Structure 1
């Protein structure tokens, strides 16, 4: 499916449906799933996001403990906290929120999260299992892209999909998720020659590079479904995506806005993953 030109794929309805499902599972089980979010920063935008996860969890019966280690936390302190939470039978999901203090290596520390509780799919073991087609939690943002595509009836089997970005948070895991759905996938990145030549072949285009306005009309095939994962801060304190929304909205079949597209679905899926980790699905 491609939408009529100018259709906005907003995430709130998808997020609401996921949260309704989560709330029903929690009510019927009589169990309170518990998510622990470890933070080590004083970045206000990050702390706001973590508070929003906790608020969303409270609305569906998922407890969210924010473990704030402070902006000077050493790597070993973060590691010990992740190991402690992973071993705690009362905690069902564990995630490490970035950014971290300078010199504290997130990619090494996430290996301390038990894959069974790795609800944001950050542990390399989770990513390896995902690549191998084995059961694992996918990074919530990558899973949110798939949830939006499914919610809006976008046919993936045989579709030409292009992912711009190769991070372990979105680009690489999303490519595997699309391949599992039988899409034909191309991954582009900062060294791709003639980016527009590659992206303009896509029926499904996902931008996940963290460069404001990188994707313009010349990068988009008429009628393509475009998912914008970018969340780039603006001078006025807002957010803008990797896609030039005004230039692309009239050309794409459908396009996610920023904010209000992928973000709400990502938060909802963190809660659903926690419920799954608690054994309620």
Structure 2
């Protein structure tokens, strides 16, 4: 006797979707960040025991921007967990640019501090470019100083923006080979898109850097073996942008129409197509803070050699 199982169209689509998602590897940035944080803490303890040096990280905060509070708190907690000397220097929103530059110069000159972060955004009366330029490039653990940007593009990096650096660690951890692969980066910011493209080039990927005004963007994205999305628009990338088997890295952090955290990628439609994908939250975000800690540790080690 033959038994037939009938699905209505909606149930069958849901069944196939879940089956394909089960075949997709979720890149667990939170777990990887925890692992690396543990390694940084061990290295820091060893450095202190052998040399007496404790890596120092200061975060300079101007004003009281609510959106910045959680990021600053995460950085402070991670620094303390790593065994660093940690300070959050809070300054009034009314501070002048000249006064802020004096504060930065104080930390530039103080050998106890190896990493300096200025939390963005800054008040409108302060020139952010001038502030970033004022940070000693050897202490610029954000990697935003023009000298560090130039070194990255010249293939001789010192400090690398932490989000792209964290993504490269993800590729390494999950055994994702980049050589000869076609990579598409959606987003051209100095914080993610441009440095991400350069890091991929350095690993011999063939890179296309795109943005919101790129013509035929879905068609271009569908060619990608590696797709990195950092465009700042909730669920911007849908299944139409992704070829089967692609690695999809979602850098976005947004809220959807229901107030729920989401990325720049429509996870539900894209995950069934991807071989690997980062979730939001729990993907790229935790790695960003961890790489700031790694670069602070490395800056402390370099300072010993001066």
Alignment correspondent of 1:228: 250
Residue 187 (structure 1) shift: 0.3
Alignment correspondent of 1:261: 283
Residue among 45, 63, 69 paired with 1:41: 63
Structure 2: distance between partners of 1:146 and 1:94: 23
Alignment correspondent of 1:209: 231
Judging changes above 3 Å, is the alpha-carbon distance between structure 1 residues 105 and 238 closer, same or farther for their aligned structure 2 residues? farther
1:149 equivalent in alignment to 2:167: no
1:17 equivalent in alignment to 2:39: no
Deviations 1:212-237 (A, max 9, x none): 11100000111100000011245666
Structure 1: distance between partners of 2:244 and 2:60: 43
Q: Give the 3-state SS of the residue equivalent to 1:279 in structure 2.
A: helix
Q: Give the 3-state SS of the residue equivalent to 2:45 in structure 1.
A: helix
Alignment correspondent of 2:101: 79
Asked if structure 1 preserves the Cα contact closer than 8 Å seen for 2:234 and 2:256, the reply is no
Alignment correspondent of 2:7: none
Alignment of 1:1-281 (within 5 A): 5-30=23-48, 31-234=53-256, 238-279=260-301
Asked if structure 2 preserves the Cα contact closer than 8 Å seen for 1:36 and 1:91, the reply is yes
Residue 38 (structure 1) shift: 1.0
Structure 2: distance between partners of 1:79 and 1:111: 10
Q: Give the 3-state SS of the residue equivalent to 1:51 in structure 2.
A: helix
Structure 2: distance between partners of 1:261 and 1:114: 30
Q: In structure 1, list runs of 5 or more residues that go unmatched.
A: none
Asked if structure 2 preserves the Cα contact closer than 8 Å seen for 1:202 and 1:221, the reply is yes
Structure 2: distance between partners of 1:234 and 1:32: 42
Asked if structure 2 preserves the Cα contact closer than 8 Å seen for 1:156 and 1:178, the reply is yes
Q: In structure 2, list runs of 5 or more residues that go unmatched.
A: 1-20
Normalised TM-score (structure 1): 0.94
Structure 2: distance between partners of 1:124 and 1:4: 43
Normalised TM-score (structure 2): 0.87
- The structure with the greater share of residues assigned to helix is 2
Judging changes above 3 Å, is the alpha-carbon distance between structure 1 residues 233 and 86 closer, same or farther for their aligned structure 2 residues? farther
Deviating more after overlay: 174-183 vs 80-89: 80-89
Q: Give the 3-state SS of the residue equivalent to 2:71 in structure 1.
A: helix
